[in-house]
Structure 1
Amino acid sequence: MGVSCDLEVDVNGEEVFVVDKFDSFYRECLQKILSSYCGRISKLFAKSKGRTRNLKVIFHDFPGGVGSFELMTRFCYNNGKIEINPFNISLLHCIAYYMEMDKSMCKTHNLFEQAEKSLEEIRYWTWSELLVALKDCQNLLPIASSSGVLNKCLDSLVGRLALACETSPCPSTSSPDSSGFRVSTDTRSTESLKSFSRATWWFDDLVALRPHLIGMAIKSLVSRKFDNGIISKFLFYYQKSKFVTATSNEKREITETVVELLYSLDQSAVSCKSLFVILRVVLNLNISKYGRNKLESMVGSQLDQASLDNLLVPSPIGTNYLYDVNLVLRFIKSFIEGTSSMPLMRLKKVASLMNMYIAEVAPDPSLKPSKFLALVRALPDSARDSYDGIYHAIDMYLEVHAGLSEDERMKVCCALNYEKLSSEAWNHLAQNNKFPSKSAAQALISQQCRLKSLLQDTNQPASPCSFVDTESNGKKDESHDQIVLYAGKLDLSAENEKLKVHLQSMHGRVIELEKVCRKMQTQMTKMMRSRLSSHSNARSLPRLCS
C-alpha cells in the first residue's frame, strides 16, 4: 500500500474539499494540473515543497464560494476550456483575477484573457444581459471592482442610459415637482406622459442594485451631464422602493447614499417636498451627522418652497417642547447663507412662513424665551413689511407664559419693530396688560413719530407730531385722549423717571397742538379738496386724530 496523502481545500469556511489518495503520484498530478493554470495555487505548492502529507489550503474570500471553486476546477481539468457568456462572465473574471490565472501561468488557455476578450463584446449585449452581469458583480465585491469587470459593466450601462436620454429627451422632467403621471385627454398631456415614461423606463431595473453600485452609477451619470431632474426622481423612487423590505441598517445605508447623491445635484432639480419626506424618515434612523447636515442644508436652501406642515417636525426624544425649533433655526441659517444675494421676494416668502410657524409654536408652555426670540430674530428686519403677525404671536406667548419676569417679558417684546405695526395692532398694544410698560411706551413713541412722518407727507408746515383730523368737524381729538389715558395707566418705577418726564412733556405738547389743529382744520380741508380735484390719483390725507 502506498503512502497516504491528504490534500484539503477550505473554501471560505463553507466546505472543505478533501483529496485522499494512496500514492503520492496522484498528489503530484493534482499539483501539476492546478499549478499550470493558477498562479496562486502554484505559489502555495511551492511553499509546501518537501511535505508529503496533510497539506491544507485555506481560502477566506474565494469569489462566489464553493460553486465557483468547483467551476474553476472543471476549467482546469478540461484543458482550459469553458463557455463564457454574460451570465457567468462576472464570476469567471473574478475567479481568474483572484487565482492569478493569467498569461504568466498559461500562454494560450488562461481564463483571465478569455474573460477579457468576452468583455470586448459587451456593446452587443442586450440590456437584460448587462443587468445580470452587473447584479453578479455586486455579489463579488470587492474582487469585481479590483478586477475591472464592475467598471466595464457599469460604464456600458451608464453609456446606454445617456444615449437613451439624448435620443428621447423628456421635457419638463428637470422640474423637481413636475408630475409626469397626470392623465388627461389633452394630446399634449398624453405626449408628456409618454415622454416621462421614456425617460424613466430604467427606474425599476436599477432598484435591484445595492447602494454602493447606485452611488457609482449616479456619479457617472452626473459626470456625463445627465438630466439632474430625472436623477433626483430616481433617487427618491429608489429610496421609497428599497425601504419596503429593508432592515434598519439597510435603511440607514440607503438614506445616507441617497442624501449624498442628491447633494451632488443641481439643487433646483431636487424636490423640496420629497426632501421633507426623507427628513421625517431620518428621525427614526441613526444616520451620520455628516449626512444629516447635508439633508438639512438642502432643505434650508429651498425653505421658501416649504409649507407650515413641513416645518412642524416633532421635537427629538428627551426634549419637552412640542416641535423641533432648533431644526427650523438651522433651516433658516442654511437659507440665508445659501446665497450671497438673496432675492427679496424669496426672503419675504420665508418671513411669511416663519410668522405662521412662530404663531404655531408660541402657545407651547415649554418653549423658552431665548428660543422664541431666536425664531423672531432669525430673519433680517427687511424680510417683513409688517410686524402684526409677530405681535399677535408675542401676545399669545406672553399669555401662556404668564410667569415670566418683567425683564424676560421686555426682552421678548424688544423683538418687535414698532414702526411696522398697523394702527389696529398699536391700538391693541396700548391696552394690552400682558405687555410691560416700557414696551407699550416705546410703541407710543413710535406711533407719534409715524404720525409726524405722515403729516410731513402733506408738505404742510407743522410742529412735530401734529394731529389733523379733516373729518372731525370740531370734535375733540381722540388720539389726545388715548395718549392721556395711557400715560395715566403707566406704572413707572424710579428707574424709569426719564421715561416718565418724556411722556409728561409729550402730554403738554399735545394739549398745545390741539388748539393749533382746530385752527388749521378748515384750511386743511379746503386744500385737500383742491388737491383731489387736480390730482385724481393723489393720496388722501390720513385721519390722524381718530
Structure 2
Amino acid sequence: MSDLETRNSKSELHINVKDVPFHLCKETIAKRSAIVSSLLERNKIDELPCILQDIEADPETFKLVAKFCYGYKVNLSSDNIISVLCIAYYLGMKEEHSTDNLLGKASSFLETRVLPSWNETVNALRSGEKSLDKLADFELVDLFFDSLIEKASYDPRLLGEPIKNREETYEYRPNPRRRLFDNDWKSEDLITLPLRFYEPLMIRAMESRSIPVEYIVTSICKYAKKWVLDAEDSVSGKKREVVEAVERLLPHKRELISCEFLFKTLKHSISLEASSECRNGFGIRVSKQLDMAKPTDLKILTQGYGEKDIQLVRTVVTSFFSNYTNEEEDVSLFVKVAKLLEEFLLLAASEDASLKLEAFVALGEITAAISLGVLRYSDGIYRAVDVFLERRGYLTESEKMEACKVLDCKKLSRQGCEEAAKNQRLPLRVVVQVFFASQLQIRDTVAKEIKGGEEKVDEEEEIGVWSDEDEIEKMSEKLLGMEIESHECVVHRWKKAKKVSVWRQVKRKFGCLTTSSSDDTCTCDVKNKKTKKKKKIHHHYK
C-alpha cells in the first residue's frame, strides 16, 4: 500500500488486517477517527488492532476507509456499504469529530442508493452478513426487511412466478401505476440470502399479509431446491437445518405446493434425519393432496424398494384415508388414489429391474387393499402382474403364483378375463380361477337378461350353474389334471335358456362357438394328459 505509506517512521501506525500490513500516518487517521485520536491522546495506540479484530474487517474495505482519511474518493457499493458502515462506526468517524465524515456519507449512500433498489438491497444484505451483527443496535436488518417487503407487495413477481399445480392458476396483474421495474429487468433472488436472514424475512412477509401467499410459497420452494434438493456438495447438517426451516415456513393448504416438491422434501427430511416434527409435517402435507399426485411422485419415495420405502408408502396412504373420516366425503378422491396406486405398481413393474418379488407383492397388497370397495375392477393390478412376469421370465412357477396372489380374479372385467384366459405367462391355476370368474360373470349376465325379459323365471331353476363352492373346487381339481390348449375353453354345464342372445355372444368370445354349431352345442379340443392325444368333445346344453 505504497500510496498511503508515511515517510516519517515516528508517526507511522502499523496495523495488520487479516495478515495484510498497513503503514499509515497516525495524525492523518486521527483527523477522521475519534477512536484513533483518543488512543493517541492516551498513548494507547497499540489497542487499535484489537478493535479492528473485533469487527472482523477485511483488508479491501479497510483500504477504502484509509483512502478516505487521506482524501481519496471512495467508491461505495452495495457489496461494501455494510462493512464500510461498520468500520466507520467503530472508528468513530462521525460528523461531531470531523465534518463531511465517512459515517454520514455511507449512511446517505445506503438511504438514497441501496434501499430504494431491490437488487442493491438484496446484495447489501447478503454481502454484509457478518458486519450486520456488529450493528445490531441500529436495527439495520429490520430496515432491509421492511424495504424488501414493501417492494414485494407492489410487485410479488420479484419472489418468482407461482408454481402451477392445477388448472386454475393464480395470475397477478399489477396496476400499471404501481410498476416499479421494466419488463426486461432481472431481479436479484432472495434465495441467495443466508438462512438466518431468509427465514425471518419470510415470516415477516407472511405476517404482513400484503403479498399473495402463492408467491411466498414459490420463493420458499426455490430456496429448498437450491440449498437442499440440488445442493450436492453441501454439508448434511446445513441441509438438515434448511429443510427443517422450510417445513416451518410452508403452509398446510392444499394445492399451493407441487406434489413432486413435497415428495422430494419428505424423502430428504428422512435421509437427513431431520426432526420428527419436520418429517411428520411433510408427511401430512403429502397425504392431504395424495389424490393430486402422479405415479412418478410415488416413485420418489421408493427408490431402492427397501422395506422402509414400502412402509413409507403405506404410511402416506394410511394418513390420506385418516384425513377423510366423514362418510359424505367425495368418493372421487378415493378413486383417484386407488388408480394412482395401480398406475404406480405398473410403472414400478415395467421400469425397475431392481424391483424384487417381495417388494412387488408388498406394493401389490397395498394397492389391492386400497382398491377394495373403491374400484369395481382390478384390471390395473392384472396389467401390473402381467408386465412383472413378462420382464422377469426367470421366475419359477411357485414365484409366479406368489406374484399373482395380489390379483383378485373375481374383480376382473369381462375384457380382463378374456385377456387373462389367453395369457400363457400366468400360472395354470390362476388361469383356471380366471375361467371360473368369467363363468360367474356369464351367469350373472344371463340372469339379469332373463330377469329383465317379458317372461321372468327364477334364475336358479332355469340356469344350471354351480353356485356351490365345493362343486367349483371339484371341477378345479379335474381341470388342473388336464392341459388346456390355448387356454380357450373350460366346460361348464348349462341348461338351455330361451332366446338368450348374450349367452351366444359370450360363447363366441370364449371360442366355444363355431359357424356350424347351433345354440345348443359347442366343440372344444382337449388333450388328455396321459395319452397325449387330442380329441374333440361336443358339449350339449340341454
If the length of structure 2 is used for normalisation, what is the TM-score? 0.59
| Pairing of 1:285-304 with structure 2 (within 5 A) | 288=272, 290=274, 302-304=289-291
* Match of residue 58 from structure 2: 65
1: CA distance between counterparts of 2:107 and 2:428? Answer: 88
- What is the aligned partner in structure 2 of residue 206 from structure 1? 188
Q: Structure 2 unaligned runs (5+)?
A: 1-7, 466-471, 483-490, 511-542
Residue 218 of structure 1 corresponds to which residue in structure 2?
202
Equivalent residue pairs, number: 454
Cα-Cα RMSD: 6.3
Is 2:17 the counterpart of 1:11?
yes
Native 8 Å contact 1:332 1:378 kept in 2: yes
The answer for the alignment partner of 2:216 in structure 1 is 231
Instruction: State the identity as a percent.
Output: 17
8 Å Cα contact 2:55/2:86 also seen in 1: no
Cα deviation code 1:15-50 (max 9, x no counterpart) = 222458xxxxx7xx79987984379x96x998x96x
Go from structure 1 to structure 2 and tell me whether the alpha carbon gap of 1:130 and 1:374 turns closer, same or farther (over 3 Å shift): same
Deviations 1:227-251 (A, max 9, x none): 12233445667789999xx985479
Equivalent position amino acid for 2:323 in 1: S
Secondary structure at the residue paired with 1:205?
Answer: coil
Query: Are 1:91 and 1:136, in contact at CA under 8 Å, matched by a contact in 2?
Result: no
Listed one character per residue, the Cα deviations across residues 332-371 of structure 1 (whole Å, up to 9, x for unaligned) are 7435525601843233234334433433432555421111
Q: Report the TM-score when normalising by structure 1.
A: 0.58
Contact 2:217–2:250 under 8 Å retained in 1:
no
What letter corresponds to residue 9 of structure 1 in structure 2?
Answer: I
Q: What residue is the counterpart of 1:488 in the other structure?
A: 478
Per-residue CA distance 1:449-478 (angstroms, 9 max, x = gap): 66676677649645499458xxxxxxxxxx
Equivalence map 1:174-323=2 (5 Å)? 176=165, 204-207=186-189, 210-212=192-194, 213-225=197-209, 226-234=211-219, 249=233, 261=246, 264-265=250-251, 266-272=253-259, 288=272, 290=274, 302-307=289-294
After superposition, what is the alpha-carbon deviation per residue over 1:445-504, rounded to whole angstroms, capped at 9, x for unaligned?
Answer: 655666676677649645499458xxxxxxxxxxxxx99986533159xxxxxxxxxxxx
Q: Distance in 1 between matches of 2:187 and 2:319?
A: 39
Q: Which residue of 2 aligns with 1:370?
A: 358
Secondary structure at the aligned position of 1:37 is classed as: helix
CA deviation string 1:103-161 (max 9, x = no partner):
9x989999999699869x95x87865464244223222133155231221122221232
Look up the SS of the partner of 1:142 in the other structure: helix
Q: Offset of 1:4 from its aligned partner?
A: 6.5
The verdict on how the C-alpha distance between 1:454 and 1:90 changes in structure 2, with shifts beyond 3 A counting, is same
Q: Which deviates more, 151-160 or 290-299?
A: 290-299
In structure 1, runs of 5+ residues without a counterpart are: 21-25, 182-188, 469-481, 493-506, 530-539
1:269/1:465 CA distance change after superposition, 3 Å? farther
CA distance in structure 2 between the partners assigned to 1:250 and 1:211 by the alignment: 15
Deviation at 1:9, TM superposition (A): 2.1
Distance 1:369 1:288, change over 3 A: same
Report if aligned partners of 2:389, 2:425 keep a CA contact under 8 Å in 1. Answer: yes
Q: Does 1:348 align with 2:340?
A: no
Compute the displacement of 1:397 (Å). 2.2
- Give yes or no for contact 1:6–1:19 (8 Å, CA) kept in 2: yes
| Inter-CA distance 6–330: structure 2 relative to 1 (3 Å threshold) | same
> For 1:251-286, what per-residue CA distance to the aligned partner results, in whole angstroms no more than 9, with x for missing partners?
99899959964861445123446779x88xx99xx9
Please name the residue that 2:523 is paired with: none
Seen in structure 2, the aligned counterparts of structure 1 residues 117 and 200 have a Cα distance that, compared at 3 Å, is closer
**8 A contact 1:92–1:115 mirrored in 2:** no
Matches within 5 A, 1:455-534: 458=451, 461-463=458-460, 466-467=463-464, 487-491=477-481, 514=494, 517-518=495-496, 521-522=497-498
Offset of residue 372 of structure 1: 1.0
Whether 1:91 aligns to 2:83 is yes
User: Residues 178 and 397 from structure 1, CA distance in 2 versus in 1: closer, same or farther, beyond 3 angstroms?
Assistant: closer
Residue 387 of structure 1, CA deviation: 0.9
Partner of 2:35: 37
Distance in 1, matches of 2:385 and 2:193, equals 47
1:156-177 Cα shifts (integer Å, max 9, x gaps):
2212322456xx9xxx968545
Distance 1:204 1:87 in 2: 18
Q: Given that residues 57 and 83 in structure 2 are in contact (C-alpha distance below 8 angstroms), is that contact kept between their aligned partners in structure 1?
A: yes
